[in-house]
Amino acid sequence: MPRTCQIGLLLYPGCMPAGLLGFADLLHAANRRTGQPLFQTRFVGLKAGPVNCSQGLEMQAHGSIDDPLLDAVLVPGFWAESAAEVEATLKNNTALVRALSRLPKRALLWSYCVGVSLAAASGRLDGQAATATWWLVDTLRQRHPKIHWQAESTCIHAPRHATASGVSGYLPIAQNLIEQTVSPAIVQDLVKLMVLPRAAQTHDAFQALSLIQQPSALLRRLHASVEALPAGQLTVAKLAERLDMSSRTLARKVKEETGCAAAVYSRRIKLAQVAERLTLTSASLSTISHELGFSSDSNLQRMFKALTHLTPLQYRQRFSRQ
Residue 257 has pLDDT above 50, yes or no: yes
Question: Which DSSP symbol is given to 15?
Answer: B
Q: Does a structural domain hold residue 214?
A: yes
Q: 8 in helix, strand or coil?
A: strand
- Better-predicted residue by pLDDT, 17 or 193: 17
Beta carbons of 275 and 315 less than 8 angstroms apart:
yes
Same domain, 189 and 260: no
**Whole-number mean pLDDT of the chain?**
90
Q: Does a structural domain hold residue 97?
A: yes
Same domain, 102 and 217: no
pLDDT for residue 137? 84
Q: Give whole-number Cα distances, 56 to 38, 77, 87, 119, 297, in Å.
A: 33, 15, 21, 24, 49
Same domain, 154 and 250: no
Same domain, 167 and 271: no
Residue 195 has pLDDT above 70, yes or no: no
Residue 212 has pLDDT above 50, yes or no: no
Q: What is the pTM for the complete model shown?
A: 0.66
Count of C-beta atoms within a 10 Å radius of residue 108: 20
Residue 264 has pLDDT above 70, yes or no: yes
Residue type, 280: L
Same domain, 48 and 188: yes
Q: Binning pLDDT at 50, 70 and 90, where does residue 215 land?
A: low
Q: Binning pLDDT at 50, 70 and 90, where does residue 190 land?
A: confident
Q: Does a structural domain hold residue 253?
A: yes
- The count of structural domains within the chain is 2
Q: How far is Cα 180 from Cα 209, in angstroms, rounded to an integer?
A: 32
pLDDT for residue 235? 96
Q: 5 in helix, strand or coil?
A: strand
pLDDT for residue 198? 53
Q: How far is Cα 248 from Cα 67, in angstroms, rounded to an integer?
A: 56
Same domain, 70 and 178: yes
Q: Does a structural domain hold residue 265?
A: yes
Count of C-beta atoms within a 10 Å radius of residue 204: 7
Q: pLDDT tens digit string along 14-46?
A: 999 999 999 999 999 999 988 899 999 999 999
Q: What is the mean pLDDT of residues 199-227?
A: 73
For the ranges 3-17, 94-108, 254-268, the lowest mean pLDDT is seen at 254-268
Q: What is the largest CA-CA distance in the chain?
A: 68
Residue 191 has pLDDT above 80, yes or no: no
Q: pLDDT tens digit string along 145-172?
A: 999 998 767 889 988 999 998 888 999 8
Same domain, 275 and 308: yes
Q: Does a structural domain hold residue 199?
A: no
Q: What is the mean pLDDT of residues 83-89?
A: 93
Q: Does a structural domain hold residue 262?
A: yes
Q: What is the DSSP string of 37-101?
A: --EEEEEEESSSEEEE-GGG-EEEE-EETT-TT-SEEEE--B--SSHHHHHHHHHHTHHHHHHHH
Instruction: Give the percent of the chain with pLDDT over 70.
Output: 93
Q: Quick one: which of 157, 113, 120, 130 has its CA closest to 20?
A: 113
Q: Are strands 49-52 and 129-130 parallel, antiparallel or unpaired?
A: unpaired
Q: Does a structural domain hold residue 198?
A: no
Rounded-to-10 torsion of CA 112, 115, 118, 121: 60
What domain range includes position 226?
204-319
Instruction: Give the percent of the chain with pLDDT over 90.
Output: 66
Q: Quick one: which of 121, 53, 61, 128 has its CA closest to 91?
A: 121
CB-based contacts of 284-288 (< 8 A; 24+ apart in sequence) = 285/312, 285/313, 288/312
Q: How far is Cα 102 from Cα 105, in angstroms, rounded to an integer?
A: 8
Boundary of a domain, candidates 166, 193, 220: 193
Q: How far is Cα 85 from Cα 114, in angstroms, rounded to an integer?
A: 11
Q: Binning pLDDT at 50, 70 and 90, where does residue 239 land?
A: very high
Q: How far is Cα 225 from Cα 149, in angstroms, rounded to an integer?
A: 32
Instruction: Tell me the sheet residues that pair with 8.
Output: 42, 73
Q: What is the mean pLDDT of residues 129-138?
A: 87
Q: pLDDT tens digit string along 52-63?
A: 999 999 999 999
Same domain, 25 and 169: yes
